[in-house]
């Protein structure tokens, strides 16, 4: 009798395990399908643009970025500086660095996320003005104006948060440390040094995306 009970329990455990594996596989496949539906166009049709498109597609197949995809229209333009609107545009600068391309991609996606939540974003910017009454503008330190600098505190915080979840702590640190000496330097340094203050504002305004 004891043996029969153990066998039944073993069968139940096996079926439970199979159901869990099936559910996880289904979720992953759905995420992959959603990512695969991106419309990636090449601005000039150059080899570097094609290679960057292939690189991005490989990253999308490797990492689940679906929770942070808010627009599926992408343009690769080797002559452009990345921007989010009206069509998310990436350049070809990071052909030799997957992590930097991934980080750039989610950065521009988060501009779309915040644009879809205009009221909460404006409230968060107002909160940031009280915490950081003076911010740099122009050059490498900040955005093109005050509002852009405040907005990028939100975008770069979300970028750091997503990269940390996707790549892990050591790779995320390397990426953010690189940006902190490359562009928006004050913004990235502040996102790192004052992350607790910015995180509280993001949570108060419900601007942390669901994973």
How far, in Å, CA of 12 to CA of 9, rounded?
5
Domains in the chain: boundaries: 117-211
- What was the pLDDT predicted at 211? 73
- For the chain, 211 residues long, give each residue's pLDDT as a single digit of tens: 555 555 556 566 555 555 443 443 434 444 444 455 899 999 999 999 999 999 999 999 999 999 999 999 999 999 999 999 999 999 999 999 999 999 999 999 999 999 999 999 999 999 999 999 999 999 999 999 999 999 999 999 999 999 999 999 999 999 999 999 999 999 999 999 999 999 999 999 999 998 7
- What was the pLDDT predicted at 64? 96
Residue 17 φ/ψ, nearest 5 degrees: -60, -45
Residue 40's SS3 state is: strand
CA 165 to chain centre: 9
Evaluate if pTM is beyond 0.85. Answer: no
How far, in Å, CA of 124 to CA of 198, rounded?
9
- What was the pLDDT predicted at 31? 42
Tokens linked to 83: 């921007």
């Amino acid at each position: 009798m004891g043996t029969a009970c153990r066998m039944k329990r073993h069968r139940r455990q096996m079926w439970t395990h199979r159901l869990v594996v099936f559910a996880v596989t289904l979720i992953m496949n759905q995420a992959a399908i959603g990512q695969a539906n991106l419309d990636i166009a090449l601005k000039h049709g150059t080899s570097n643009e094609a290679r960057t498109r292939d690189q991005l597609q490989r990253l999308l197949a490797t990492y689940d970025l679906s929770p942070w995809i808010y627009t599926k229209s992408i343009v690769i333009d080797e002559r452009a500086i990345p921007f989010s609107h009206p069509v998310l545009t990436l350049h070809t600068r990071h052909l030799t660095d997957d992590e930097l391309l991934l980080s750039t991609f989610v950065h521009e996606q988060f501009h779309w996320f915040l644009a879809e939540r205009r009221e909460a974003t404006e409230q968060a910017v107002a909160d940031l003005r009280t915490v950081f009454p003076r911010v740099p503008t122009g050059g490498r330190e900040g955005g093109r104006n005050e509002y852009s600098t405040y907005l990028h505190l939100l975008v770069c915080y979300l970028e750091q948060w997503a990269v940390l979840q996707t790549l892990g702590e050591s790779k995320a640190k390397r990426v953010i440390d690189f940006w902190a000496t490359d562009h928006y330097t004050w913004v990235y340094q502040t996102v790192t040094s004052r992350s607790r203050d910015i995180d509280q504002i993001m949570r108060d305004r419900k601007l942390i995306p669901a994973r």
